[in-house]
Amino acid sequence: MERRDFLKKSIIVVAGASVPLSALELVDPKEVLAANPDIHWAFLLDTHKCVGCGFCVKACKTENDIPFNAKVTRTWVERYVYTKDDRRYIDSPNGAQDGYTESRIDLGQGNFKEIDPENVGKAFFVPKLCNHCETPPCTQVCPVGATYKTDDGVVLVDRTWCIGCGYCIMACPYGARFFHPVEKVADKCTFCYHRITKGMETACVNACPFGARKMCNINDINDPVTQIIMNQRVGVLKDEFGTKPQAFYIGLAQEVR
């Protein structure tokens, strides 16, 4: 073999060998997923610890570019006030993005209700977000395959593929989806997929000063949060819908749905 031929052929071999390798790495996310086939993300919310500061909502909106002046949010905090004369009031002004700084209840449409402090029986706050259901109704109804559940258990929306029809927003029993006013597509909590896949906490978990929000890999039985879900009394929202939510709550009341 001549020197020129040898060089030519070796260049071809090197080029041929390197292209499919790099192409595999970039194009085939199955390879990436296969590295962590056992991860299944779940969320734990402790309603006893929540004080309604709304730092989670602020952090979520900042991290994920959700406009503060629009009445949409990926996560929100609800306030439940039971009075001694057996009335129940529930509100979440602006999703509690500025926390609860007033004792009056926001009844909507500019109406407010001041409750006599003597009359307050019990009151508590409940943080909410997408439940990332095991059998999500929202992904079933998508007519174009734009929303889906990943192998590690997170429900995502493909922004380039979503046509904005809004079926999924209607289908979600928890009201966790909304129409993104800037991107003009359906939007929802992603469990901060860009953070958790790099080993970080979600923005809301990180921002919560009281430990009311926690995240875990529910397949890892040594994870302390998984231990709580396994060993303590936790509940899920709207169990009867058969959606198998992956957000677990400590201290649920029957009014919280």
Partner 1 sequence: MKSHVWRTLFVVILLVVGIMVFRLFYVPSDFGSGKRGFMYSYHRFSNEGEWKAQPIKYRDTGKQKMHEYCGECHDDVVEVRTEDLHGTIACENCHGPAFDHPEDPEELVIDRSRALCLRCHTDLPYTTSERHRIPGIDPKEHNVDEMCVDCHDPHNPRLEDM
Residues at the interface with partner 1 (CB under 8 A) = 27-30, 32-33, 48-55, 58-59, 62-64, 81, 98-103, 117, 120-125, 135-136, 139-140, 145-151, 156, 158-161, 190, 193-195, 197-198, 200-201, 203, 205-207, 209-211
The pairing of strands 105-108 and 111-113 is antiparallel
Nearer to partner 1, 11 or 49 (CB): 49
The pairing of strands 88-91 and 105-108 is unpaired
DSSP 180-248: -TTT-SEE-----HHHHTTTPPPHHHHH-TT--EEEEETT-TTSHHHHHHHHS-EE-TTGGGT---SEE
Nearer to partner 1, 13 or 28 (CB): 28
The answer to whether the CB of 139 falls within 8 A of the CB of 243 is no
What residues does 249 pair with on adjacent strands? Answer: 45, 235
Nearer to partner 1, 5 or 38 (CB): 38
CB of 80 to partner 1, least distance (A): 10
CB of 252 to partner 1, least distance (A): 15
CB of 222 to partner 1, least distance (A): 18
Rounded distance between C-alpha atoms, residue 153 and residue 127, angstroms: 20
Give the tokens for residue 114: 């001041």
Nearer to partner 1, 125 or 174 (CB): 125
CB of 44 to partner 1, least distance (A): 15
Nearer to partner 1, 125 or 178 (CB): 125
